[in-house]
Amino acid sequence: MSSDLHFCTITDLSAQLAAKELSATDLMSAVIARTRAVEPRVHAFNSCDEANALTQAAASDARRDDGQSLGPLDGIPIALKDVIAVTGQPLTASSKMLEDFVSPYDATVTTKLKNAGAVLWGRANCDEFAMGSSTENSAFGPTGNPWDVTRVPGGSSGGSAAALAAGEAIAALGSDTGGSIRQPAALCGVVGLKPTYGLVSRYGLIAYASSLDQIGPFARTVEDAAIVLGAIAGHDERDSTSFKTDIPNYRAELATRRGPWKLGIPKEYFAEGLDPEIGAAVEKAIAFYKSQGCEIREVSLPHTQYCLDTYYIIATAEASSNLARYDGIRYGHRSKNAKDVVDLYFQSRAEGFGAEVKRRLILGTYVLSSGYYDAYYLRAQKVRTLIRRDFLNAYREVDALITPTSPIPAFKIGEKSDPLAMYLCDIYTIGVNLAGLPAISVPCGFTKSNLPIGVQLIGQPFQEANLLAIAHAYERAHEWSAKTPNL
């Protein structure tokens, strides 16, 4: 039995569990020990329920003893971002507004993971209400990047990415509204997949921007990501935006889809602002695909320059609507200083929300207000259509696009105090959400300072099997995913 169980893949661990070389209880105990050892420096979790996790692991062992294994995820510890509901567990969105809230129900992805036998472990830290790119906006303190704990892990799903990279979980779920899975995956040196909008149910996900939010997996390898995606994907009647489509065996498809593929290089994504070391690493990834017989073409996404503006109008407008429910009356933080009912509403929101959430709510309320709706929100929706059309036009020529994931490597905690500078960290990821497409970030190198670099592959709608196969082809020929931080 490996002494580094916490750094093993789902693929390896599920084989050991099936062969009875390892028990789920031993695996969970190893992950708990690792978490106790490194969590004070990383702060990947808002809370952990060790007793509950060990109970789940024991139940997995009992199933295997009875010959009733539920599949490759049975007994595997998976962390969940603290915006995904788990019955009886805290659901805080890393906000004082929900600091004492305990979920009374399971999200659909939670139910699916339970049905697959996964051990649900830890409430992963994140930017408050998933609004941020660094996990510094959490009301419970920032998360450190396991490769350098003085640096950010990315965001908003930074806790999920850091937990996985640090060996505090074997896989994790996050949510991606403008890059919140892919960007932290790149900065932490793990695989992060944002599925097509509608492929994975959002029921039980605390809403930020409902037309952009999507739950997806973090994993050590593309194969592991395929396993988790297969468990959580599928239509859900409780989510009106859930799409009815056949769910293939993503893991099996990796072995059958071999390419070569036609890959597009969006010229707008290799412009000013891209860190030279990241640009060089991505160019090497492109060269690898070319060496494997893939046809590489330059394509244009002409409306890319409008992505950032469009995103921050639509996302903040939807956030303004979604977060109106936190009023200090029904649930969540209630001010003790209010003079009357109206003051209760104002005081509760002022005390419960952090600065970045307030900033986005004010902007969102403004663009929806009388006299500005047509000028901002309606126009942004029209530009969003043009952005999606750019991608679909490109897919007439190529199977997928290849780009950097983040323009810069992990930066120091507290370094970016200017909100606009922070927003620019998502410049290569937000277009995917506006267009509703699937995309994956895969490790592709390190900077001279030993900070991870990620390459992003953007696929066609509901073509995750092809996207995963393209990513797997690169990963299989490189050792980046096997590297782990020295904590």
The predicted-structure confidence for 19-75, as pLDDT tens digits, reads as follows 999 999 999 999 999 999 999 999 999 999 999 999 999 999 999 999 999 999 999
Please answer whether residues 422 and 356 qualify as being in contact, where contact means their C-beta atoms are separated by less than 8 angstroms: no
In the chain, domain spans: 5-264+397-482
* Least confident segment among 17-26, 115-124, 251-260, 274-283: 251-260
The pLDDT assigned to 417 comes to 82
* Chain segment 184-197, per-residue pLDDT in tens: 999 999 999 999 99
The pLDDT assigned to 1 comes to 46
Report percent pLDDT > 90 for the chain: 95
* Least confident segment among 101-110, 328-337, 467-476: 328-337
For the segment 457-463, the average pLDDT, to the nearest whole number, is 98
List the catalytic residue out of 180, 201, 242, 406.
Answer: 180
Output the average pLDDT for the chain.
96
Q: Which CATH number among 3.90.1150.10, 3.40.50.970, 3.90.1300.10, 1.10.3720.10 corresponds to the domain 5-264+397-482? A: 3.90.1300.10
**Token digits for 299?**
């394509």
The pLDDT assigned to 3 comes to 61
The pLDDT assigned to 482 comes to 94
Please answer whether residues 441 and 192 qualify as being in contact, where contact means their C-beta atoms are separated by less than 8 angstroms: yes
Can 112 be counted among the known catalytic residues? no
State the Cα angle at 458 between 13 and 311, rounded to 5°.
115
Q: Is the pLDDT of residue 419 over 90?
A: no
For the segment 327-355, the average pLDDT, to the nearest whole number, is 94
What is the distance of C-alpha 476 from the center of its chain? 22
Can 291 be counted among the known catalytic residues? no
Q: What is the DSSP string of 109-157?
A: HHHHHHHTT-EEEEEE--SGGG--SSS---TT-PPPBTTBTTB---SSS
CA distance 355 to 374: 27
Q: How many residues does the chain have?
A: 487
CA distance 149 to 39: 11
**Token digits for 292?**
């494997």
pTM of the model: 0.97
* List of E strands, 261-366: 262-266, 295-299
CA distance 305 to 287: 26
Residue in 245, 133, 161 with CA at minimum distance from that of residue 441: 161
List the catalytic residue out of 81, 112, 194, 416.
Answer: 81
The pLDDT assigned to 272 comes to 83
List the catalytic residue out of 103, 134, 156, 157.
Answer: 156
Can 81 be counted among the known catalytic residues? yes
**Residue 435 banded pLDDT, cuts 50, 70, 90:** very high
